[in-house]
Amino acid sequence: MLEIKNISKIYKVGTFGNKELHAVRNVNFNVKNGEIVSLIGESGSGKSTIGKMILRLTDITSGQINFNGVDISTFKGAALKDYYRKVQGVFQDPFSSYNPIFKADRIFNIIHEEFFPDMSGSDWETKLNESLGCVGLNPEHVLNKFPHQLSGGQLQRFLIARALLLETDFIVADEIISMLDASTRIDVLNLLAELKSFGFSVLFITHDLSLGYYISERAVILYRGCVVEMGKTDKIFNNPIHPYTQALMSSVPRLDKHWEEGSGGDLCTRESMGIQLGCSYYGRCKSAIHEKCECIAPELVEVEEDHLVACHLNSK
Amino acid sequence: MKFSIPSSGRCNVSLKVDNLTVYYQTLRGSVQALEQASFEVANGEIMGLAGESGCGKTTLSTSLIMLTPPMKHIGGSVLLDDELLPIADEKKMVDYRFKKVSIIPQYAMNAMNPTRKIGKMIEELLRSRKIDYKSREEELLRRIKMVKLPQDVLDLYPIELSGGMKQRMVMVLSTLLDPSLLIADEVTSALDVSSQKAVSELLVEFRDQQIVKSIMVITHDISILYQIADTIMVMYAGQLAEKAPTKTIIHVPRHPYTKMLISSLPKVGVKFEEHRLEGIPGKPPLLLNPPEGCRFKARCPLAFEKCREAPPFVEIEPGHFVACWKEC
């Protein structure tokens, strides 16, 4: 369904915009029909930038994003509107996704006016109630309220219901539950997983490994804008190969295992000159011994079926 | 890392909170954010304080160090090292703040003065407390080394440090006068996983080196507490729900809220297709006019007649306190 081919994003930074920041570097992956893919990485790994590029909220510096075989990067006007009918995003902070001055269900009215102008009021109402029912909300309780009168979980479900109304095929879910409380977040997560049966595909962006494992079939691990490991979720979690994935697995706090003693968080980092050239993880990698690691960027190599790793140590 | 609870238990109490009630005064009435909280923290104990947003965990910790309007002390007392803390008297608390009770505030990375070099700022801070900077300098440098920061950090401005480094610097600063009680409010929530781990482990080290006697770690992330805390206290809507050693809370919780909360947390190894986790239906009550009795009763599957009275926070086995009529 969605094919990401060699995309890069360079931000201009510095006082006069004369410095370049490579937020995303040559990333490739696809999302198939009815599949949930997790994009996992720490802050600054470029995971949100990828989400924004898919949603056309920011331009792609180089590369291609194909949706159902068509390159989306040149879409304008009507074509872009048609694209948004199929692809929608839900973001981290439910409270800033809404205009506090207007009632929250205004987002539905906008869709009615913009995308379904021919539909009569009563038909629309049935459709709206149906989709609110799908996300587990009672229309009587939630309609006609201002954003501050609804909980974070309800607001996030509103945004998902909005995507349902549009008969969307693909949702970019950027950290959608990290602002929610523990007792409500799992409901939103379950909802997302259930949507799969409607034929939805989801790109689930998160920094929390256990959430990624819970919901997705495939995972992509990002570090500093590069894919370091990707493949089937089970394979990555049970057999992490890249040193970064291993470090990530061991430092994420878990409820079933204590931190290993002495494995410590990475406090010291190695200065690396050739960050533009070499492996993105060279600066922190404990196993980097090769000169190769500093100068040549490793490529993704398949180590077993549906499990790819970008590390020189593994490509003999 | 040690995960042992001091066995001598109660004769070794560092902090004793008795029936503490704190309300927020608003134009529409009092928000009953903390109701009748009674608990103890032992010497050398790292107590985790967990709960959803708005459950009163920050109110509890703030009232131990800086109870200012609109917060109002309604009743109850706080004993620190057998000494009564004058929490309701803002002026008298000056003698205790920083020296006896210290806090690593939420968003600590932005807590330092951006216009001063860090060393200069510390010097001014100590002078304001009438303490000679030179007498603490050696110790300061040792601590900076302990948290693995470079020595020349004192000549830098806060903006020159990364988020994790600033967090560690504030930790050194907060504990410089060896306070008895350290409150760490959401210290890890804005950090990356690797810095999160480093900062949490430092908290344990501060305790192990006896720089601080006891620590209260406030977070909504229970998996962090599982790594570092000796005991966990769970709050719900301004009331204490359960306090027990970490392992007990995670593996054999007794309060229905704790049970549902723990079982709703996703763990690595649990997949949606194989094992569907359930959330807690409903939402917490508003604290402006909270329901009488147990505040969890509207969402509780076990609620019965008696829940209309507030359940007492009782010890059902050594070190395990629960506030639920079903467990009494």
3-state secondary structure B144-169: HHHCCCCHHHHHCCHHHCCHHHHHHH
- Say if residues B125 and B205 touch (Cβ distance below 8 Å): no
Q: What is the pLDDT of residues A235-284, one digit of tens each?
A: 888 888 888 888 888 877 777 777 776 554 454 454 444 445 677 777 77
One domain for residues A123 and A164: yes
Whole-number average pLDDT of chain A: 83
CB A80 within 8 A of CB A154: no
**Structure-block tokens of residue B142:** 């040792």
Q: Does A258 contact B226 at a Cβ distance shorter than 8 Å?
A: yes
Question: What are the φ/ψ torsions at residue B206 (nearest 5 degrees)?
Answer: -60, -40
Q: What are phi and psi of B25, to 5 degrees?
A: -90, 125
Overall residue count recorded for chain B in this entry:
328
- DSSP H helical ranges for B241-284: 246-251, 256-263
d(CA A178, CA B110): 21
Q: Do B270 and A252 touch (CB under 8 A)?
A: no
pLDDT(B249) > 90: yes
How many domains does chain A contain in total?
2
What confidence tier does B160 reach under pLDDT thresholds 50, 70, 90?
confident
Provide the domain limits for residue B224.
Answer: 11-109+178-327
Query: How many Å apart are CA B159 and CA B136, to the nearest integer?
Result: 24
Residues A99 and A151 in one domain: yes
Residues 6 or more apart whose Cβ sits within 8 Å of residue B201: A259, A264, A265, B1, B228
Q: Is B271's CB within 8 Å of A214's CB?
A: yes
The model's pLDDT over B172-210, given as tens digits with 9 standing for 90+, comes to 999 999 999 999 988 887 777 777 888 888 999 999 999
Domain termination site, one of A215, A238, A261: A238
Tell the residue number behind the tokens 């909360």, with chain if given.
Answer: B261
Give yes or no: residues A209 and A253 share one domain.
Answer: no
Q: Report the gap between the CA of B9 and the closest CA in chain A (Å).
A: 24
Residue A306: what pLDDT? 86
φ/ψ (deg, to 5) at B7? -75, -30
Rounded to 5 degrees, what angle do the CA atoms B222, A187, B269 make? Answer: 55
Instruction: Please give the single-letter amino acid code of residue B220.
Output: H
Distance CA B68, CA B90 (A): 7
Q: Does residue A231 register a pLDDT over 50?
A: yes
d(CA A302, CA A267): 31
The arithmetic mean of pLDDT across residues B73-91, rounded, is 90
Distance CA B61, CA B80 (A): 13
- Do A167 and A281 lie in one domain? The reply is no
Domain stops at, among A212, A238, A264? A238
Residue B1 located in a structural domain: no
- Confirm whether B5 is domain-assigned: no
**B5 pLDDT exceeds 60?**
no
Residues A155 and A253 in one domain: no
Q: Is A231 left (phi over 0), alpha (psi -120 to 50) or beta?
A: left
Q: DSSP H helical segments within chain A, as ranges?
A: 47-54, 77-86, 106-115, 121-134, 139-142, 152-165, 182-194, 209-215, 233-238, 243-251, 291-295
Question: What is the C-alpha separation between B216 and B14, in angstroms, rounded?
Answer: 11
Residue B219 has pLDDT above 80, yes or no: yes
Q: What six digits make up the tokens of B13?
A: 């109490």
Q: Assess if residue B127 is contained within a domain.
A: no
Q: Which of A210, A215, A261 sits opposite B267 (nearest CB)?
A: A210
C-alpha torsion A263→B103→B192→A235, nearest 10: 60
Q: Would you say A285 and A313 are in contact if contact means Cβ atoms under 8 Å apart? A: no
CB–CB of B238/B295 below 8 Å? yes
CB contact under 8 A, A265 and B201: yes
- What confidence score (pLDDT) does residue B276 get? 85
Mutate to test the interface with B, among A267, A269, A284 (most CBs of B within 10 A): A267
Strands A2-13 and A36-40, sheet pairing: unpaired
pTM value?
A: 0.81
* Residues A264 and A315 reside in one and the same domain: yes
Q: Are residues A216 and A281 in the same domain?
A: no
**Does a structural domain hold residue B129?**
no
Q: Can you name the residues that pair with B20 across neighbouring β-strands?
A: B37
| A41 phi, psi to nearest 5 deg | -175, 165
Full DSSP string of A49-68:
HHHHHHTTSS--SEEEEEET
pLDDT (0 to 100) of residue B144: 92
Pair A270, A187 in one domain: no
- Which two structure tokens, joined as six digits, stand for B328? 């009494």
Test mutation, A214, A234, A254, chain B, max B CBs within 10 A: A214
The answer to whether residue B227 neighbours chain A at the CB level (below 8 Å) is yes
CATH number of the domain at B32, please: 3.40.50.300
DSSP A101-126: TS-TTHHHHHHHHHH-TTS-HHHHHH
Question: What does the DSSP 8-state code read for residue B141?
Answer: H
Instruction: For residue B73, tell me if it sits in a domain.
Output: yes
Task: At B8, list the tokens.
Answer: 């001598």
Point out the residue among B1, B192, B223 whose CB comes nearest to the CB of A43.
B192
CA–CA dist A225, A44 (Å, integer):
8
Q: Measured between CA atoms, how close is A264 to chain B, in angstroms?
A: 6
CATH number at residue A218: 3.40.50.300
User: Tokens representing B46?
Assistant: 């790292």
pLDDT, tens digit, 9 for 90 and up, residues A61-109:
899 999 988 898 888 888 999 899 889 998 888 888 899 899 988 889 8
Top residue of A149, A186, A249 to mutate, by most chain B CBs within 10 Å, is A186
For residues A228-240, give the mean pLDDT.
89
| A226 and A252 housed in the same domain | no
Burial of B261 (0-12, 13-18, 19+ CB in 10 A): buried
Choose one of A193, A223, A238: the last residue of a domain.
Answer: A238
Query: Does any domain span residue B163?
Result: no
End-to-end CA distance of chain B: 35
Distance CA B189, CA A43 (A): 12
| Contacts with A184 from chain B: Cβ below 8 Å | 279-280, 283
pLDDT band for position B9 (50/70/90)? very low
Task: Report the b/e string of A180-196 with b at 16+ CB within 10 A.
Answer: bbbbbbbbbbbbbbebb
pLDDT band (50, 70, 90) for residue B141: very high
Q: Are A54 and A39 within 8 A, CB to CB?
A: no
Compute the distance between CA of residue A304 and CA of residue A73 in angstroms, rounded to an integer: 33
| A11 and A99 together in one domain | yes
Position B60 scores a pLDDT of: 92
**From the CA atom positions of chain B, what is the Rg in Å?**
20
pLDDT tens sequence across A98-148: 998 999 888 898 889 888 888 888 999 998 988 888 888 888 888 888 888
Residue B161 in any domain: the answer is no
Q: Please write the tens of the pLDDT for every residue from B254-299.
A: 999 999 988 888 877 788 888 888 888 877 888 888 888 899 998 8
Mean pLDDT of chain B: 87
Identify whether B79 is part of a domain.
yes
Q: Is the pLDDT of residue B56 over 80?
A: yes
- H or E stretch including B209? none
A178 with A51, same domain: the answer is yes
> What average pLDDT does this structure show over A22-44?
88
* Amino acid sitting at position B244: A
Q: What is the DSSP letter of A260?
A: P
Where do we find the tokens 């004192």?
Answer: B154
Q: B194 to chain A: nearest residue by CA?
A: A265
Domain that holds residue A134: 2-238
